[in-house]
Chain A
Amino acid sequence: MASAAVIPEREHYLNQEYGIRSWLLTVDHKRIALLYLMSITFFFFIGGFFALLIRLELLTPAGDLVQADTYNKLFTMHGQVMIFFFLIPSIPAVLGNFLVPLMIGAKDLAFPRINLLSWYLYIIAGGLYLHCILTGGVDTGWTFYTPFSTAFSNTKVIEAGLAVFIAGFSSILTGLNFVVTIHRMRAPGMTWSRLPLFIWAHYATSIIMLLGTPVLAITLVLVVLERAFHLGIFDPKLGGDPLLFQHLFWFYSHPAVYIMILPSMGVVSEIVPCFSRKRIFGYQFIALASIMIAVVGFLVWAHHMFVAGISLYSALVFSLLSYLVAVPSAIKVFNWTATMYKGTITFSTPMLYAFGFIGLFTMGGLTGLFLACLGVDVHVHDTYFVIAHFHYIMVGGAVMGYLGGMHYWWPKISGRMYPESWGRLAALTVFLGFNLTFFPQFILGYMGMPRRYWQYPPEFQVLNVFSTAGSTILAVGYVLPMVYFLWSMRYGKIAPDNPWGASGLEWMTSSPPPTFNFEETPVVTWEAYDYANIPAPEEVPVER
């Protein structure tokens, strides 16, 4: 440090120790959350860079910017980086890591060293994947479909597979830590029915991480063994069956969608009551809907394989089960809306993101019903309709929730306020950019433009130009928060302990919290979201 502070500052987790060692060897869940924040942001921009290259290539019908094989690598690496190195760890490993102990009144996660280990596993996996990118990349599509991945592709499939395998263990350890922490570390009085819904959402997410990820792990091991040693499990030439790969892969990778969206739902369940100044409507229903999504989410995987040759009867069952997931999702959307009804709504930045989430997630969810319908799925399978659908869920839903949560808890994390007007501008930019990017893709897909091609017939160009234009706006919207968050760390207003007048134990400790979170272990005697008894903040940081 260049100059010593004149006024002795209050000690908190950020200034208790300095130096690179104190970060790399920390077992404090809050510091590990920041380590994750930096690493996933790095991968988010790498994945985003690939996305921009994809959109640039699709600006014109001809394949002019990149060749077909480069394009294959671009969409593969965009998908794998975004899913395994950004979306899966995003909210759980950053906000969850930071907030789960704070919200339940614990000093740390149950296994702090395992928590640090999970970050190191993530870094090893990320390093391996970066090496894979720099030495030629991988072109199998993010799904590693066999037998292409095991017999035909001559790119770095083994490295990519191992990287995702290791990243999976990082995610398993995070989930394990959360479940044990939520079961065993709650403060006195913090009963299950008093838990914030953010915690319920993370509990459900962790269950999926624990039970789903190992299946992906063993599947990737078998892919690597088949590719490296001709241990035939999936390759028909070696006696195997590629359909088995698809079953095993989607057994994890469909629930993985819920790993991405459930934590965002948890974030929205915190933001909406706070900026409506009302108790959340239907607490038990939202909590149980999270669990139901996790359970039913495990039973729908084969809807990715309706045209892959599965039997008609199993397709019917999986179609029905896929419709069923809409029930708990709709319960949540209705309850958030009902919470806002007659509430005192503030259009602050986190709330704007929450609005964005509810609208875009609803669109993504409803178009998911189209895809769960057997007849419609045959028509739009492997088209841009599917691309638009899952981007509405993963970007419109999951990333909106992530950004909303980052803004909502930024004062707690950094001890500084971000500039509110810039925040709102960025939220609007993201919303507009997102819709301009992905809405045209619904139409393109319905008109029959297939995914994963670098060229297309000229009649699709207008909509593709819209989409590419939108993606540049979206990029601006994503860079803005990074810039003003960094700016606010030095120049932002000092944040009070509870700037939003929010409920929840995390707001009862100082901003930023001390290393062990609370001066003394809190005793909980009130219900969650007790906004009837919480005064609105005296100095409202946001004009109404």
Chain B
Amino acid sequence: MSDSPAAVESRDLALRHHFATQEQQRRAASLGMWLFLSTEIMFFGGMFCAYLIYRRLYYTEFAAGSRSLDVTLGAVNTAVLICSSLTVALGVRAAQMGKRKLLVVLMLLTLVFGVAFLGIKGVEWNSKFKEHHVPGTSFHFEQTALDGKPIDPQHIQLYFSLYFAMTGMHALHMIIGVGMFLYLTYHSWKGRYGPEYFTPVENGGLYWHFVDIVWIYLFPLLYLIDLKK
């Protein structure tokens, strides 16, 4: 892949005035991203903490709520996200090696996977909405007992509150990620990234992996609490 002189120049301009070297700038951006991800861990951590406590207290309700979810769709979504993480990882490599077309294709693929995930999630939410499983005034859970143990109508609502809060916050991060990949695809197409300057692709990839990992935890915690039927 040959670079036009304009592209080379734009990479030199990418060194901002207050850094001494490209290396310093790259390492600063990378540390910044890791720190941002640590704040994200704490952000989701609040909800995981609530989940942990309530699941321990109200196991029966959480198991019943978990069984009402569609495991197949959840599993498909997990696979979709793992594929998208692969395309992102390959994309960073493509950027480092300066393969512009490959990079564009991989960014586009990631976008498609991301949108597919959101679509499937939307289908799941829609069915929950129809079943009146969305917490609020019209909440209704028909099942009253699980394996002989009674289900408390308030605590089953708690499960769904956490389900929607956690998957909702995750989906919000996905939407932000999709916007980010639109940006990255455009600039990859313009040839902005190459062996000397690939920080945005790398940091975008880190963000995407983080969102992916959150789902890797959410899937078993929400869908697979008690699978035996």
* Complex interface: chain A residues within 8 A of B39 (CB): 172, 176, 210-211, 213-214
A214–B50 CB distance below 8 A: no
Check B46 for interface membership: any CB of A closer than 8 A. yes
Q: Mark B85-98, 1 if CB is under 8 A from A, else 0.
A: 00000000000000
Tell yes or no: B36 within 8 A of A by CB. Answer: yes
Give bound CA distance, A512 to B46, whole Å.
44
Residues of the B chain whose Cβ atoms lie less than 8 Å from the Cβ of A241 = 53-54
Is the beta-carbon distance between B157 and A239 smaller than 8 angstroms? Answer: yes
CB closest chain-A residue, reference B154? A239
**In the complex with contacts A214-B40, A230-B135, A183-B31 CB distance below 8 A:** yes
Known interface pairs A214-B43, A239-B158. Does A184 touch B38 (Cβ–Cβ under 8 Å)?
no
Which of B75-83, B161-169, B211-219 is found at the contact surface with chain A? B161-169
**Contact flag A179-B50 (CB < 8 Å), given A212-B42, A516-B17:** no
Per-residue interface assignment for chain B, residues 31 to 57, with 1 indicating a CB less than 8 Å from any chain A CB and 0 otherwise: 110011011101111110110011000
Q: Is the CB of B158 within 8 A of A238?
A: yes
Contacts of A244 in B (CB 8 A): 50, 53
- The segment out of A104-112, A153-161, A286-294, A337-345 that lies at the interface is A104-112
Shortest CB distance B30–A (Å): 9
Q: Which residues of A contact B16 (CB under 8 A)?
A: 112
Q: How large is the interface on B (under 10, 10 to 19, 20 to 34, 35 or more residues)?
A: 35 or more
User: Does B14 sit within 8 A of A, measured CB to CB?
Assistant: no
A-chain residues with CB within 8 Å of residue B127 when the two chains form the complex: none
Knowing A107-B17, A215-B42, the reply to whether A185 touches B28 (Cβ < 8 A) is: yes
The 8 A CB mask of B126-149 against A (1 = contact, 0 = none) is 000000000111000000000000
- B135 close to A218 (CB less than 8 A): no
B43 CB contacts on chain A under 8 angstroms: 214-215, 217-218
Give the contacts of A122-173 with B (CB-CB under 8 A). 172
- Please determine whether A248 and B46 come into contact, CB atoms closer than 8 angstroms: yes
Contacts of B101 in A (CB 8 A): none
Q: How far is the CA of A110 from the CA of B26 in the complex (A)?
A: 11
* Separation of A336 and B99 alpha carbons in the complex (Å): 59
Q: Is the CB of A230 within 8 A of B136?
A: yes
Taking the closest CB of chain A, its distance from the CB of B168, in whole angstroms, is 9
B137 and A230 form a contact (CB under 8 A): yes
Contact among B44, B58, B135 for A231, CB-based, below 8 A:
B135
**Which residue of A180, A215, A232, A521 contacts B154 across the interface (Cβ within 8 Å)?**
A232
Q: A107-B17, A248-B49 are in contact. Are A231 and B31 (CB under 8 A)?
A: no
Is A229 in the interface zone, CB < 8 Å from B?
Answer: yes
Residues of A within 8 A of B124 (CB): none
Bitwise, A360-398 to B at CB < 8 A (1) or not (0) is: 000000000000000000000000000000000000000
| Interchain CB contact under 8 A, A238 and B161 | yes
Give chain A residues whose Cβ lies under 8 Å from the Cβ of B136: 229-231
In A178-225, the 8 Å CB interface with B consists of 179-181, 183-185, 210-215, 217-219, 221-222, 225
- Which of B17, B42, B152, B164 is the one whose CB lies under 8 Å from A214? B42
Residues of the A chain whose Cβ atoms lie less than 8 Å from the Cβ of B228: none
Contacts of A233 in B (CB 8 A): 50, 158, 161-162, 165
With the chains together, A106 CA to B24 CA distance in Å? 12
When the two chains form the complex, which single residue of A179, A183, A225, A230 contacts B165, counting CB atoms closer than 8 Å? A225
Classify the interface of chain A: helix, strand, loop or mixed.
helix
* Count of chain A residues with a beta carbon within 8 Å of a chain B beta carbon: 45
Interfacial chain A residues near B164, Cβ < 8 Å: 231
- Complex Cα gap A110–B152 (Å): 52
Select the residue from B47, B156, B161 with max chain A CB neighbours within 10 A: B161
Cross-chain contact A240 with B24 (CB below 8 angstroms):
no
B190 within 8 Å of A by Cβ?
no
Contacts of A251 in B (CB 8 A): 46
> In the docked arrangement, what's the CA distance between A232 and B162, Å?
8
Interchain CA distance A108-B45 in the complex, whole Å: 33
Interchain nearest-CB distance for A512 vs B (Å): 18
Contact indicator per residue, chain A 486-514, by CB within 8 Å of chain B (1) or not (0): 00000000000000000000000000000
Q: Which of A108, A210, A239, A248 contacts B18 (CB 8 A)?
A: A108
Whether A179 pairs with B47 at a CB distance below 8 angstroms is no
Bound Cα distance A338, B3 (Å): 63
- Report yes or no: A180 in contact with B32, Cβ–Cβ below 8 A: yes
Find the B residue at minimum CB distance from A515: B17
| Contacting residues, chain B, for A219 (C-beta < 8 A) | 46
Asked whether B27 is an interface residue with its Cβ less than 8 Å from the other chain, the reply is yes
- Interface: B155 (CB within 8 A): yes
Q: Are A218 and B46 in contact (CB under 8 A)?
A: yes
Q: How far, in Å, is B197 (CB) from chain A's closest CB? A: 17
CA distance A183 to B35 in the complex (A): 12
Nearest Cβ distance between residue A114 and chain B, in whole angstroms? Answer: 8
Contact present for A222 and B165 (CB under 8 Å): yes
Residue contact A179 to B46, C-beta cutoff 8 Å = no
Smallest distance from the beta carbon of B158 to chain A beta carbons, Å?
4
Contact of A180 among B31, B137, B162 (CB under 8 A): B31
A106 to B40, CA, bound (A): 28
- Residue on A nearest B135 in the bound complex, by CB: A231
A373 to chain B, nearest CB (A): 28
A212 to B158, CA, bound (A): 25
Of listed B36, B46, B155, B162, residue having the most chain A CB within 10 A: B46
Complex: how many Å from CA A112 to CA B16? 10
Q: Mark A90-128, 1 if CB is under 8 A from B, else 0.
A: 000000000000000011111110000000000000000
CB distance from B26 to the nearest CB of A (A): 10
Instruction: Encode contact with A along B103-139: 1 for CB under 8 Å, 0 otherwise.
Output: 0000000000000000000000000000000011100
Given A107-B17, A238-B135, A239-B161, 12 further pairs, Cβ under 8 A: A111-B32, A176-B36, A181-B28, A183-B31, A213-B39, A214-B42, A214-B43, A231-B136, A232-B157, A233-B158, A238-B157, A521-B20
23 A-B pairs in the complex with CB atoms less than 8 angstroms apart: A112-B18, A176-B39, A210-B39, A210-B42, A211-B42, A214-B42, A214-B43, A214-B46, A215-B45, A218-B44, A218-B46, A221-B165, A222-B50, A226-B161, A231-B135, A232-B158, A233-B158, A233-B161, A238-B158, A239-B58, A241-B53, A247-B49, A516-B18
Interface residues of B (CB under 8 A from A): 16-18, 20, 24, 27-28, 31-32, 35-36, 38-40, 42-47, 49-50, 53-54, 58, 135-137, 152, 154-158, 161-162, 164-165, 169
Please give the residue numbers on chain A whose beta carbons come within 8 Å of chain B beta carbons, in ascending order.
106-112, 172, 176-177, 179-181, 183-185, 210-215, 217-219, 221-222, 225-226, 229-233, 237-241, 244, 247-248, 251, 516, 521
4 nearest A-B residue pairs (beta carbon): A239-B154, A214-B43, A218-B46, A107-B18
